[in-house]
Structure 1
Amino acid sequence: MPHHVTDPDAAVAWLLAHVGGPLRIAAPLALGKPHRLLNALYARIENDPSHPLQLYTALSLDPPDAAGDGLQARFLRPFVERHFGTDFPRLAYARAIARDALPAHVQVEEFYMQSGALLGSAQAQRAYTSLNYTHVADALAQRAPHAIVQKVARHEGSTRLSLSCNNDLTQDTIDAVIARGLPRPLLIAEVDPELPWMGGSATVEAGFFDLVLTPPGPYPKLFGLPRQPVSDADYAIGLYASTLVRDGGTLQIGIGALADALSHALVLRHTDNACYRRVLHALDPALEQHPLVHAIGGLEPFDIGLYGCSEMLNEGFRKLVQSGVIRRKVHDDLTLMQRLANGSAYTADHARLAEEGEYLHGAFYLGSPEFYDWLRQLPADQGRAIGMRRISEINQFRSGDETLQRLQRRQARFFNSCMMATALGAAVSDALDDGRVVSGVGGQYNFVAMAHALDDARGVLMFRALRDDAGKAQSNVRWNYGHTTIPRHLRDIFINEYGIADLRGMTDEDCVIAMAGITDAAFQAPLLQQARAAKKLAGDFVAPAHWQRNRAQVLSAALAPFRRDGSLPDYPLGSDFTPLEQDLLRALGWLKTNTGSAGGKLRTVLAALRQGPGDNDAMYLQRMRLERAAGFSEWLDARLLRLALARTART
């Protein structure tokens, strides 16, 4: 039986008593970190060089910093307090890394970072480890951790504990440690009553852990990802992507606004197909005749439904389950799946699949407070249909189970995001050309490789055609870039707001033409010129006239009626912001875009000085605490905000 304590300091004392000298500790990514235990451990060793600490983890989530007096800080302060709670236990080591303030005897090694948050941290950049998700367990075993610490859920009346949000690496790591002939690490659980209970293979006997920490209440909120607004470009990408999904197939999606847009498009396709087709026609009148849509996708509602198999379960999957898109069940009985595949299944097989089958598999989950509430409140039959699995089962073919997994993962579509793509089919997803890491490889390479390994699968990388660089638009279709995440020999399908580029098996010239066809019109000519100079494009190639429609204003005009009538809402999966805050977010986004350059800032300030008061400005200024401006800076901020509200007002 495990040792039980209620005080995090007592758990740290127990750990130090069992491990003398340096400490090598592993902790799950994202939600599964035991915040109270890790903070107690860091507080104990921060000023004690006699206990050097190496922490192996990823995605150390930290709420936004609301310090300062600028408009962003004024917006964030009330939101952060409401959304995360005043008692949210920020990870002390993560705050130190952001300031490059870790003591010399502490190192935190991560294989995935909160996107863009640590570009300026030398300590984080130097200690980053570039790994495919499926290689992490063995890399951890190589480091011979003394202990694995993890947040768990406890179910009233059960003697078992649930790994809940993170069934991804713990068991795989233990197996990898043992395979190397190393001693099994100590296992320490921190029970969090806020964590949703997930059953099945996510549960272990309490004796699986050596120590169970149950801190006293009150318990802070779980880290909730604020859901972001979906732009016109995001919706176009999601709509194009939704046409490549085959009924009865398998779905993997990532996280963020592009995944939200894809999820909404799939729901719209299923629940209001007539509206869905009107939106598609407005977006691209020729889309219904696209050869790839006919070959691998479809536009009809989902008669059979999809099976979800994704390393991360998120907000989109909640909506897809609730709307009936995700409902195709699979079973871990190979012979049953074979009979289903060849049409020889018995009536009892179908009954067993309905009773025991699962329609959604994931390795970890992360989302909004609403997402966590949904997991907590799932009826028993729906809860049983969601299986939290090891990462080795989700992101690759598990040894000995490949035949089964191929039967389960039929017609798989793997959708992930990248930052940039090259004209020859390489993808840039995790780092900049100077080597600094934005996020990490995670499972992207795993799913790209699996798309090529499965007979009827396709891998889709989604990206926005344009990015803002100091107030100037730049193309995300590059001729070349100094860093790639996915090499061009694994090229498959790319989608941005201007269309679909099918690169699988294509010549370099065909790839160039396909990628130029989804490049913003302002950047097509220089891209084609680079291709000609590199001998990858015929000198007499002439761009088709319809490519000139690849412009943001053309896209916005096409989607405008559906933005107005609510078919394409700003927050398709729900919002964590009040309606007033949603208006402010649009306004602040407009200001950011229009003050990114010196000239733009000057023009915006001059326009703000001429802007008269709006009818509802008072409530917005009150929310931002600018109703009584103190000094010139606050007075100017109030003027700028009024201008931005006027320019982004919805009619």
Structure 2
Amino acid sequence: MHLSSIDQAVEQVLSRLPTHIHMGLPLGLGKPNAFVNALYARIRELPERRLTIYTALSLGRPALGDGLQQRLLEPFVERVFGDYEELHYLADLRNDSLPPNIRVEQFFMQPGSLLASESAQQDYVSSNYSHAARDINAKGLNLIAQLVAATPERPVHLSLACNPDITLDLLPMVERRRAAGETILMLGQVHAQLPYMPGDAELPMDAFDLLLDEAEQRQLFSTPNMPVTIQDHCIGLHASSLVRDGGTLQIGIGAMGDAVAAALLARQSDNVAYRAALDGLGAGTTQALIEREGGLAPFEQGLYGCSEMFVNGLLALAEAGVLRRAVDDRGVILHGGFFLGPQAFYQRLRDMPLEQRARFAMTGINFVNELYGDEQLKRRQRQDARFINTVFGMTLLGAGVADQLEDGRVLSGVGGQYNFVAQGHALEGGRSILLLRSWREAGGEVSSNIFWNYGHCTIPRHLRDIVVTEYGIADLRGQTDSEVIARLLAVCDARFQQSLIVQAKNAGKLAEDFQLDRRFADNTPQRLAAVQAQHPQLFPEYPMGTDFTVEEQDLLRALNWLKSKFKLSEALELGKATLEAPEPQGYERHLARMQLDQPQGLKEALYQRLLLAGLAAT
């Protein structure tokens, strides 16, 4: 049924579905926000009705914060996100003010955004991505709503585009329930900016019970590329040496994923510098592993992408000819479940001819994230697979922490990480690679991200495989506990090695006479900075491009430095920073961008001095 307005769609849903509406929404980009907001508004005024929303990754503009952060972010957010329509339930979720007749269950959250929300934390569902369709269906799903794409080249079809992931997995379950007499509606809302992805993501128009083609449409949500640090680039360089020509690649979103893509591009186009940088980083200590599992030469056969998320870095690798190993007669070089990225990413997909877009096969998440079903085909396609994911912590015995804090609060979710780690072990020639920044700094306090133990893990230590930090590669597969400890100590920052050794010895997991090889005592940021200085072209701050202006890049760097070095609530430390600040000359454009070129009052004068201190330091 074609509908001319969102109000009509809401009326149809209310009249055709029972009192309790169980609505499934795609994760990330594919939510039809305008329809969701309209239905949410109606049901909150109808206490006799109930609505449960099942979804993941509910996207919202970043919080502006206050002070200097707000001055930087407010104009940037307005420029980049434009008229993107926020999800109304997300604001209420953040404030713990959902109506009593509405619940939101998510299996993945926008990282760190809902730590303070009791309702979000209590209604989080810990499921593997590949199990989400099963779990949502079991809850009584009776409405699927999502954005779709259209093209004149395929007049009787629509594309699930950015999100065939769970919807394709749900459809067989839905058909079985419909055959048993249940009413389950499928609503699609066409969005003109959404790239039409052919292949498995296509459905006939009549697959949709309700179809909206709104004339007025808001901007798609985008994820601006963030800075890639020295730590990230070093991690990316090490990880790239484990990727075998002719193999399979999975990477995720974020700075470390961008760093891996940038390193693979350098391996292809600037191989002499690439090898020299790795030599400077000490890759010689794992030369045998690199020769056995990866390589340093440019790619002759190319790679095939098998990644739940089709990210900007994978598109850049395809454009450079690195991602080019076709796995079927249709010329498919990547299978993905969903995509999300900056506006330029969507534009590059829209600009491609449809037959070129077909090389990026968007499909069901069970195809990408599991080996079950078409297993022999998948095993042939996924040769020498390298599944590269990130963690924020690692125990010294090899357990990875990626989704949840020690106190139980969920940062993000398991998503598909476990799926790919398991595949890394199940596939012949496959490896799971976990990326980790070995240390972090906040408020002037430096701490290790490798610790003796932690109250929670995402990847259990019996699935330990390869761990990469900025200091090198630790191959943990099949090793004894004492050898795992020794290998992780070798990629740990030198400032924390001795205290960790003491803890391991106290637990009886290291021999009393154990001593770490002295060469690893040089695991310091200073050594990495020296390598960067020798090969600056391999350390671009925004290798995948950026939405930040030149001044904003400088300002973001300065604010990140201030955040890392100072507890901004402590007056003495603030005073020290302001005393050391330079004069405004040379920073006039930066100060004007932050409306601090003519500070009014003591507070703005303090802001100006702090900002100048950060700019001078970075």
Same fold (TM over 0.5): yes
1:562 to 513, 522, 535: 535
For 1:193 and 1:568, how far apart are their aligned partners in 2?
37
Name the residue aligned to 2:93. 97
For 1:490 and 1:67, how far apart are their aligned partners in 2?
39
1:572 to 517, 531, 543: 543
Correspondences of 1:447-458 after superposition (within 5 Å): 447-458=420-431
Name the residue aligned to 1:335. none
Answer yes or no: is 1:170 the counterpart of 2:140: no
Name the residue aligned to 1:139. 135
Q: Which moved more, 1:238-247 or 1:182-191?
A: 182-191
Task: Calculate the TM-score normalised by the size of structure 1.
Answer: 0.92
Q: Give the 3-state SS of the residue equivalent to 1:290 in structure 2.
A: helix
* Residue 89 of structure 1, CA deviation: 0.4
Name the residue aligned to 2:242. 244
Name the residue aligned to 2:594. 624
Answer yes or no: is 1:128 the counterpart of 2:99: no
Deviations 1:202-243 (CA, angstroms, capped at 9, x unpaired): 1000000000011122x2221110100100000010000000
Deviations 1:143-166 (CA, angstroms, capped at 9, x unpaired): 111100010001125110000000
For 1:327 and 1:285, how far apart are their aligned partners in 2?
27
Q: 1:512 to 1:57 in 2, by over 3 A?
A: same
1:144/1:182 contact within 8 Å kept: no
For 2:206 and 2:515, how far apart are their aligned partners in 1?
69
Deviations 1:234-293 (CA, angstroms, capped at 9, x unpaired): 001000000000000000011110000000000000111112112112222625x62210
* Residue 141 of structure 1, CA deviation: 1.0
Deviations 1:345-375 (CA, angstroms, capped at 9, x unpaired): xxxxxxxx3xx22001101000000100111
For 2:577 and 2:53, how far apart are their aligned partners in 1?
51
* Residue 603 of structure 1, CA deviation: 3.5
Correspondences of 1:53-92 after superposition (within 5 Å): 53-66=51-64, 68=66, 70-85=67-82, 87-92=83-88
For 2:34 and 2:568, how far apart are their aligned partners in 1?
43
Task: Calculate the TM-score normalised by the size of structure 2.
Answer: 0.97
Correspondences of 1:26-65 after superposition (within 5 Å): 26-65=24-63
For 1:280 and 1:191, how far apart are their aligned partners in 2?
47
Correspondences of 1:156-195 after superposition (within 5 Å): 156-157=152-153, 158-178=155-175, 183=182, 185-195=184-194
1:595/1:604 contact within 8 Å kept: yes
Q: Give the 3-state SS of the residue equivalent to 2:440 in structure 1.
A: strand
* Residue 184 of structure 1, CA deviation: 5.9
Answer yes or no: is 1:592 the counterpart of 2:548: no
Deviations 1:505-541 (CA, angstroms, capped at 9, x unpaired): 0011110101111111111111111111111111101
Answer yes or no: is 1:541 the counterpart of 2:514: yes
Name the residue aligned to 1:320. 317
* Residue 393 of structure 1, CA deviation: 0.4
For 2:380 and 2:34, how far apart are their aligned partners in 1?
43
* Residue 584 of structure 1, CA deviation: 0.7
For 1:294 and 1:151, how far apart are their aligned partners in 2?
45
For 2:183 and 2:129, how far apart are their aligned partners in 1?
21
2:466/2:474 contact within 8 Å kept: yes
2:81/2:222 contact within 8 Å kept: yes
2:336/2:363 contact within 8 Å kept: yes
One-letter code aligned to 1:36: A
Name the residue aligned to 2:206. 207
Name the residue aligned to 1:280. 278
Q: Give the 3-state SS of the residue equivalent to 1:364 in structure 2.
A: strand
1:303 to 283, 300, 309: 300
One-letter code aligned to 1:407: R
Q: Which moved more, 1:257-266 or 1:466-475?
A: 466-475
Deviations 1:318-355 (CA, angstroms, capped at 9, x unpaired): 11001110000001xxxxxxxxxxxxxxxxxxxxx3xx
For 1:456 and 1:320, how far apart are their aligned partners in 2?
22
For 2:444 and 2:291, how far apart are their aligned partners in 1?
40
* Residue 179 of structure 1, CA deviation: 5.1
2:341 to 349, 356, 367: 367
Answer yes or no: is 1:398 the counterpart of 2:372: yes
Answer yes or no: is 1:636 the counterpart of 2:579: no
For 1:280 and 1:423, how far apart are their aligned partners in 2?
25
Identity %: 45
Q: 1:204 to 1:499 in 2, by over 3 A?
A: same
Answer yes or no: is 1:499 the counterpart of 2:498: no
* Residue 597 of structure 1, CA deviation: 6.9
2:384 to 411, 416, 420: 411
Name the residue aligned to 2:404. 431
Deviations 1:59-98 (CA, angstroms, capped at 9, x unpaired): 0000113364x1000101110111000x210000001101
1:178/1:184 contact within 8 Å kept: no
Q: 1:100 to 1:515 in 2, by over 3 A?
A: same
Q: 1:71 to 1:598 in 2, by over 3 A?
A: closer
Q: Give the 3-state SS of the residue equivalent to 1:303 in structure 2.
A: coil
For 1:385 and 1:597, how far apart are their aligned partners in 2?
49
Q: How many residues align?
A: 615
Q: Give the 3-state SS of the residue equivalent to 1:117 in structure 2.
A: coil
2:19/2:48 contact within 8 Å kept: yes
Deviations 1:408-460 (CA, angstroms, capped at 9, x unpaired): 00000000001101111111110011110000000000000011110110000
For 2:295 and 2:283, how far apart are their aligned partners in 1?
15
Q: Which moved more, 1:58-67 or 1:233-242?
A: 58-67
Name the residue aligned to 1:346. none
* Residue 606 of structure 1, CA deviation: 2.6
For 1:408 and 1:596, how far apart are their aligned partners in 2?
50
One-letter code aligned to 1:594: K
For 1:430 and 1:610, how far apart are their aligned partners in 2?
39
For 1:182 and 1:550, how far apart are their aligned partners in 2?
64
For 1:357 and 1:645, how far apart are their aligned partners in 2?
49
Deviations 1:546-589 (CA, angstroms, capped at 9, x unpaired): 111111122112212323xx332100010110111101111111
1:283/1:559 contact within 8 Å kept: no
One-letter code aligned to 1:328: R
One-letter code aligned to 1:7: S
1:177/1:184 contact within 8 Å kept: no
For 2:201 and 2:174, how far apart are their aligned partners in 1?
20
For 1:285 and 1:128, how far apart are their aligned partners in 2?
41
Q: Give the 3-state SS of the residue equivalent to 1:212 in structure 2.
A: strand
* Residue 607 of structure 1, CA deviation: 3.5
Name the residue aligned to 2:350. 376
2:442/2:563 contact within 8 Å kept: no
2:107 to 103, 106, 111: 111
* Residue 611 of structure 1, CA deviation: 2.8
For 1:301 and 1:29, how far apart are their aligned partners in 2?
36
One-letter code aligned to 1:197: Y
For 1:269 and 1:602, how far apart are their aligned partners in 2?
47
One-letter code aligned to 2:276: R
Q: 1:63 to 1:182 in 2, by over 3 A?
A: farther
For 1:604 and 1:319, how far apart are their aligned partners in 2?
42
Q: Give the 3-state SS of the residue equivalent to 1:301 in structure 2.
A: coil
Q: Give the 3-state SS of the residue equivalent to 1:169 in structure 2.
A: helix
* Residue 469 of structure 1, CA deviation: 4.4
Q: Give the 3-state SS of the residue equivalent to 2:555 in structure 1.
A: helix
